[in-house]
Amino acid sequence: MKTNKSYTKRIKLTKNSKVKARAKGQNHFNAKESGNKTRSKRGTRDFIISAKKLSRFLPHN
């Protein structure tokens, strides 16, 4: 099965093999959001995913 490259670009693997991803809903329509909501979307979040699905999104080493 091929690696899903579009999704691979959105996630990062940390040194301890945790998966990090951007918070959802950051691309557009953010002008009407409150300041607290805007600030909470910054940075990355821990991303929980099963090993089976993770193998589809990360290239094999």
Residue 37 structure tokens: 């909501």
Letter for the amino acid at 27?
A: N
In a domain, 45, yes or no: yes
- Looking up residue 38, the CATH number of its domain turns out to be 4.10.410
Token pair 């691309």: residue: 27
| Residue 10 counted as domain residue | yes
Asked if residue 61 is part of any domain, the answer here is no
- Tell whether 25 is covered by a domain: yes
Q: 27: domain range? A: 5-56
How many domains, in total, are found in the chain? Answer: 1
Q: Assign 3-class secondary structure to the chain.
A: CCCCHHHHCCEEECCCCCEEEECCCCCCCCCCCCHHHHHHCCCEEECCCCHHHHHHHCCCC
- pLDDT tens, per residue, the chain with 61 residues: 677 787 778 788 888 878 888 877 888 888 999 999 999 888 888 878 888 887 777 766 5
